[in-house]
Amino acid sequence: MKPNNINWKHNLRKIPDWILTKLKDFKNTDIIVACVKKISKSDIESDLYSHLSISIKGNKPVFPNGIVPIESIGKYSNWNINGREIIKRDLPMVSKTYSWDAPDWGDWSNGTHEVSMDRQVYQRDFMPPRLVELTIELLAEEIKEENLFVFKFSIRDVLDNSSKKFGDTLLLNLNILQENVGVVDVFPSNASLADYLKTIYVNWEILPPGEKDETVNRIVSGVGPISEEIKKRLIARVDLFSKLNPTAYIRGTSGFRRYFGAKFHNDLVAFENLDYGNAAYVMFEDWEKLSKMSRIDLLSGDRKGFIRVIHRHGWEKELKQIIKMER
């Protein structure tokens, strides 16, 4: 049964631009759709991942090595199990005969006769079930305020990116992962454990630049419900940051989910908080450490390594000047 507390985006209409960019850098033509995700013990206990048969026994997660996702989780998972009929609207329509029984003289007690009618219909193709499996691995465990488990999820289907059907199959596999896990990524088939673990940051997730709507959706996914006012503010910030050509966007994870920012260099990051958006913070070489401090701790004493830009008249211009100067 599909959990009713899933809060991530359900489907992808197209292959994200950041994945297409990543694929260009792969030397290996064999690709695997996979991702690494930190999952809290409380999320597992709330049955958020019950559709993948992930549960907690004692303080440890219990899960299958592989599972064919259930059909009720989404349309791509449904197609994976039941196949899909595709209406070919780009081809000429063809004649199809429909037949049914009708009563003789309008009375079923007199018997029946067959009636037939021809109609013009679109041609259809049937894609058989693929029955691809989602594999699950536990890579690491972190004990902080609550237990966090680092899971690797991958579609057991090696794709050849030189194949003519690569794009279609890639989108199918990405959507199966998106429906079931809420995170997508791609890796060479020979990627090492270190390659996977590099995509996990202690408290921050690095998001490659993409279209504005895609960036906003990725920042808010997993955060939970947000108001229209906060979303409007986030869209405005993404607009502002995008004009400064960031190398990546940053989203907080775990206890930092309400934080987001833009990375312009390894030692130059601008941060904001979705709830307390009264100032932006431009941080330098110690940004990973400083950004984890509370606002009170950050502003107490004579701390260096950041510039606070209060949201007053002209603050956007001030932020732009700081970023350009520090770059």
For the chain, the domain total comes to 3
Share of the chain above pLDDT 70, in %: 81
Q: Tell me which range, 161-165, 200-204, 216-220, is most confidently predicted by mean pLDDT.
A: 161-165
Q: Are residues 322 and 246 in the same domain?
A: yes
Whether 107 and 158 share a structural domain: no
Say yes or no to pLDDT of 288 above 60. Answer: yes
Contact 120, 94 (CB under 8 A): yes
Instruction: Give the orientation angle of helix 75-82 with respect to helix 166-181, to 10 degrees.
Output: 120
| Average pLDDT value for residue range 252-263 | 64
Exposure string (b/e) for 295-322, b if CB count within 10 Å is 16 or more? eeebeeeeeeebeebeeeeeebebbeeb
Last residue of a domain, one of 174, 195, 216: 195
**Does 256 lie in the same domain as 166?**
no
Please check whether residues 50 and 120 belong to one and the same domain: no
Q: What is the mean pLDDT of residues 144-148?
A: 65
Among 83-92, 268-277, 289-298, the range scoring the smallest mean pLDDT is 289-298
Please tell me the predicted confidence (pLDDT) of residue 254: 44
pLDDT tens profile 32-69: 999 988 888 888 998 999 999 999 998 889 999 999 99
> What pLDDT, in 10s, does the model give residues 178-188?
999 988 889 99
* Cβ atoms within 10 Å of 84's Cβ, excluding its own: 16
Are residues 25 and 172 located together in one domain of the fold? Answer: yes
Is the residue at 2 inside a domain? no
The highest-confidence range among 96-100, 135-139, 293-297, by mean pLDDT, is 135-139
pLDDT of res. 98: 80
Domain edge (last residue) among 146, 170, 195: 195
**243 confidence band (pLDDT: 50, 70, 90):** confident
Q: Which of 76-85, 99-108, 160-169, 223-232 has the lowest mean pLDDT?
A: 223-232
Question: Same domain, yes or no, for 267 and 158?
Answer: no
Task: Give yes or no: residues 163 and 51 share one domain.
Answer: yes
Mean pLDDT, rounded, for 110-121? 85
Note whether 110 and 253 are same-domain residues. Answer: no
- Which among 90, 97, 87 is positioned nearest to 125, based on CA atoms? 87
Range of the domain at 176: 17-83+129-195
Same domain, 178 and 282: no
**Domain-embedded: residue 9:** no
Mean pLDDT across the chain: 81
CA-closest candidate to residue 238, choices 276, 211, 203 = 211
* 294: confidence class by pLDDT, cuts 50, 70, 90: low
- Confidence band for 203, pLDDT divided at 50, 70 and 90: low
Q: Are residues 271 and 292 in the same domain?
A: yes
Residue 10 belongs to a domain: no
Mean pLDDT of 233-237: 82
What's the pLDDT at 202? Answer: 39
Clarify whether residues 91 and 78 are in a common domain: no
Q: What is the token pair recorded at 294?
A: 């509370």
